[in-house]
Amino acid sequence: VDEGVGVELFDQYGNRVPCQLSDISRYPHGGLKSARVTFIAKEVPPIGYTTYYYKPVSIAASLPVAANVEGRFENGFYIMELDSRGICYLFDRESGIEIIGGEDMRGGEVFTMQSAGNGAGEFIDIQQPGMEGYDYTGSGQESQSWKVIEEGDVFTTYMIRQKIRNATVERRIRFYHLVKKIDLDVSLLNWEGVLFREFRMGLALNMTSAKVAYDVPYGVVEVGKDEMDGSAGERYVTNCSDIHPRGIQNWIGASDNRIGVTLSSSVAVADFIDPRDNPLQGPVLQPILLASRQSCHWEGNDYLQTGDHHYHFSFTTHRPGWENGYRFGTGSNEKLFAVQGYRKYSDAKLPETMSFFSIDAENIMVSAVKKAEDSDNIVIRGYDIKGLETRARINMFRGYSKAVPVNIIEFLLHDNSAVETGSLPFFGRFSIETFRLDF
C-alpha cells in the first residue's frame, strides 16, 4: 500500500490490535511499500483460523530505532540486565523470583569447547566436551554493549555482535510486551570449519533440586524418572538415566518447587548439565548449535559445516512442572501461517473465524488429520500426554456419524457395527489412538 506511511490492525469485531512494523521499504515520496507486521494473534481456534484487517494510516508508529543502552530493561513481565556475556539478571515479576543471576554463565551465552567424535556416534558412550580452546561470548570484550535495534508496542529487540574462537556470534534478544515470552536468536557467522569443535548456547537457571523434562515424539521424558532401568546392554554400559546430551523434539525445560522454565529449540540435541571443569550445580539448558565431526569410515571425510548458521529459541517462565509449559514450547515451534491479499469469492461462505478440528480434552494432542486411504472419510490421530484414561469428543467443522477406532494403517480394530453413533472416543494412558470419522 502506498496511501499511508504506516498501518493499523483490527480484529473481526473492529477492535484495534497493537502491531509493530519491521523491515520497512518505502516509495520515493515516503509512502509505505512493504513491511513485516508483527502482532499477537490471540485465541486462534485449534486447527483453524481467524481474520484481521489492516488499513493505511498517515502517522507512522513503532519505527525501528538504534541507540546505546545501559543494559537494563523492564516490562510488565520481567526485569532484565545485560552484560557482554548475555543476560546477567532476570527477575520474574509475577512470581517475585530471580531466574538468572549470580552464576558464572549468562542467559543466552554462547560458548565453544573441544569435542572429538565421529559421524556415526561414539559406539560405547557419548563423549563429553573438554576445556581445550574453551571460549565464550564476551571473553575479553567487556566494553562491548548491546544496542536496541527495534522498539515498539509489541516488542523490544537488543543486538550484539562479537568475536569468538573461529567464528563471529550475533545475538538478538526480543522481549514481548503483551505476552510472557523472550526470543533468543543466535547467528554463528564466518565459522572457519575447524575439526572437533562444538558450540552451545547456555541458559543457566537459579534452581536447586530441579527436575528436567523434554519433548519427544508422542510424549515427554522426565530425566531420572522415565528412562529404562540400567543400561542398554552389550557394549553400552552407561545407565540410561545418566546419558546426556539428549535428543529433543520441540522443547526442554526445568522446574523446582518455586517456578518452571520452558525453552523451545530449533536444534535436535540439548544438554542440561554444565560440561565445564568447575560446573554449576543447577540446571544449564544447552541447545547444541554445531559440532564438527569426522566420518567413522577410515577413508571418510570431515564434517566441518563451514559458513554461517542461524538458530531460534524462545523461553518463558511459569508455575512449576512441565505440564504448565509444554504448550508454549510446542506452540513456539509450530508457528501460525499468515495469508494476506487473497481474492474473496462472491459466494464465500466461511465465517471470519473457525476451528476445523478439535478435541475437548486438554491432555490429548492431535498429531495428524488426513483423508482416509480407502474412502472419502477423515482420519484423525491423537495421543495422551499426561497418563490419563480419557473419553474425549472430537469436534469437526461439519457433522459426522461415528468415530471408528482403527489401527495406524487404518484397519478396523473391531466390528464397525459395535461403535454406537455419538459414542465418545477412548484414549488409554499414554496411548496413541487413531479414529476414522465416518459421514
Weakest-pLDDT range from 24-38, 352-366, 383-397 = 24-38
59 pLDDT above the threshold of 50: yes
- Is there a contact between 186 and 167 (Cβ–Cβ < 8 Å)? no
- Helix, strand, coil percentages (3-state) for the chain, rounded to 5, are 5, 45, 50
Q: How far is CA 433 from CA 38, 391, 398, in A?
A: 37, 12, 21
418 pLDDT above the threshold of 60: no
**pLDDT for res 417:** 56
For 125, other C-beta atoms within 10 Å of its C-beta total 14
How does DSSP classify residue 180?
Answer: S
**pLDDT for res 282:** 92
Element (H, E) at 326: helix 326-333
66 pLDDT above the threshold of 60: no
Please state, in angstroms and rounded to a whole number, the distance separating the CA atoms of residues 148 and 66: 5
Q: Provide the whole-model pTM.
A: 0.92
Supply 306's cell numbers. 563451514
For residues 138-159, give the mean pLDDT. 88
Average pLDDT, the chain: 91
For residues 51-64, give the mean pLDDT. 76
Please state, in angstroms and rounded to a whole number, the distance separating the CA atoms of residues 419 and 422: 9
- Is there a contact between 326 and 333 (Cβ–Cβ < 8 Å)? no
Please state, in angstroms and rounded to a whole number, the distance separating the CA atoms of residues 364 and 387: 10
121 pLDDT above the threshold of 70: no
Bridge partner residues of 246 (DSSP): 270
Give every CB contact of residue 379 below 8 A, 6+ residues apart in sequence.
368, 369, 370, 371, 372, 373, 406, 410, 434, 435, 436, 437
243 pLDDT above the threshold of 60: yes
What percentage of residues in the chain have a pLDDT greater than 70? 94
pLDDT band (50, 70, 90) for residue 67: very low
- Is there a contact between 17 and 11 (Cβ–Cβ < 8 Å)? yes
For 185, other C-beta atoms within 10 Å of its C-beta total 18
- Is there a contact between 253 and 212 (Cβ–Cβ < 8 Å)? yes
**pLDDT for res 144:** 82
**pLDDT for res 414:** 72
**Residue 170: which of 289, 272, 251, 72 has the closest Cα?**
289
pLDDT tens-digit readout, 253-280: 999 999 999 999 999 999 999 999 999 9
**Residue 249: which of 329, 174, 340 has the closest Cα?**
329
Q: What domains sit in the chain, N to C, each tagged with a CATH number?
A: 6-57 (no CATH), 67-324 (2.70.98.30), 360-438 (2.60.40.2220)
